A = this chain, B = another copy of it.
Amino acid sequence: MHVDELETPSVLIDLDRMERNISRMQTFCNERGLAFRPHIKTHKIPDIARMQVEAGAVGIACQKVSEAEVFTAAGLNDVQIPYNIVGAAKTARLADLALYNRITVSADHLSVVAGLADAARANDITIRVLVELATDIERAGASLDDLLALAQRIDRDEHLHFAGLLLYPSNPAMRPMLQEALDILHRAGLGVDVVSGGGTGAARYAAEMLELTELRVGTYIFNDWSTVSKGWAALDDCAMAVRATVVSRPTTDRAILDSGSKTLASETVDGLYGHILEYPQARLYKLNEEHGYVDLSACDDRPVIGDVVHVVPVHTCVVSNLHDRLYGVRDGDVEVTWPVAARGKVW
């Protein structure tokens, strides 16, 4: 099928660019001796994860047990969940997965560790647990004060394996904290298999973070207007574009696209909801659910109703989560249609 036959809005993936992005990040990690663990939240598609593993990734990261269920069922059997898995229903499902897969999770509190231990014991298996360290993002994560007690609690439990440390994002500013954490563990005689860092932005500084053994990133595979705006990628590194139609031209300066927040999500960069490739001077300044508002006042050429445009979205990961399928395109042909198998998996 030619790409022109697709209805709009549709989410296109430029396969040449995606493959180049996969290869480039894997080479970057190989050259630095870092294990590479792509975060699948960006695509949510097992076939793409398989391409990442075939390129050299050690496994995948995902954020929810339900995502791990989708990917392990598809044969991706080394899965890290950098998240506190809380509640008996979820830890039981996690333990089920750990029977036949290499499952690693993180924890930042003794109560989380206790829940994991109960589930592992009930299944008579061992779950690998990383301690998540707090960073300057001020999200989850244990403080250095709590690290030793947590690591020892994990290490002592016969159904848990203390696998090391995890942080997000692993920016260079976190290095002194990370060094102190490793020193605390070293002095206590606790071995550290893995020091897992993450973040597409932080990846740029991974060479300076000598303590890392592993890198988790997601967005690098598609890139988006956010990574371009931050200078982390060039526009022609962006593999995802939303094919959209101009459905209204109510004034000389305004166009309306058939792509709103149900298609592009509601995140912004500098007040804009994406970048229109055919009209780089246009400003996609507002979205309703099914309407994209475009200011054309800076454009010399202007589209008419029925014209098709391509929008580089602000944040690829949330776009993938809105759509049932992504289309892999090469040389104008739709080479593959992927169901977004882990779309909407929030459990």
Please tell me which one of the listed residues B112, B245, B347 contacts residue A86 in the complex, with CB atoms under 8 A apart: B245
**Closest residue to A259 on the B side, CB-wise?**
B346
A50 adjacent to chain B (CB < 8 Å): no
Report the Cα distance A245→B89, complex, angstroms.
12
Interface residues on A, range: 35 or more
Please judge, given known A-B contacts A63-B290, A247-B83, A250-B108, whether A323 and B344 are in contact too, CB under 8 Å: yes
Residues of A314-343 whose CB lies within 8 A of B: 317-318, 321-324, 343
Report the Cα distance A347→B290, complex, angstroms.
10
Q: Is the CB of A288 within 8 A of B247?
A: no
Binds B, one of A200-208, A221-229, A262-270: A262-270
Binds B, one of A16-24, A117-125, A135-143, A172-180: A135-143
A254 adjacent to chain B (CB < 8 Å): yes
Report the Cα distance A217→B267, complex, angstroms.
25
Q: Is the CB of B86 within 8 A of A306?
A: yes
Q: Is the CB of B247 within 8 A of A140?
A: yes
- For A246, list chain B residues within 8 Å (CB): 86
Q: Is the CB of B138 within 8 A of A318?
A: no
Q: Is the CB of B318 within 8 A of A344?
A: no
Give me 18 other A-B pairs in contact (C-beta within 8 A), A108-B250, A112-B247 excluded: A7-B347, A9-B346, A41-B289, A84-B248, A86-B247, A87-B306, A138-B250, A139-B248, A139-B288, A139-B291, A140-B256, A141-B248, A258-B346, A259-B346, A262-B318, A289-B318, A322-B344, A324-B344
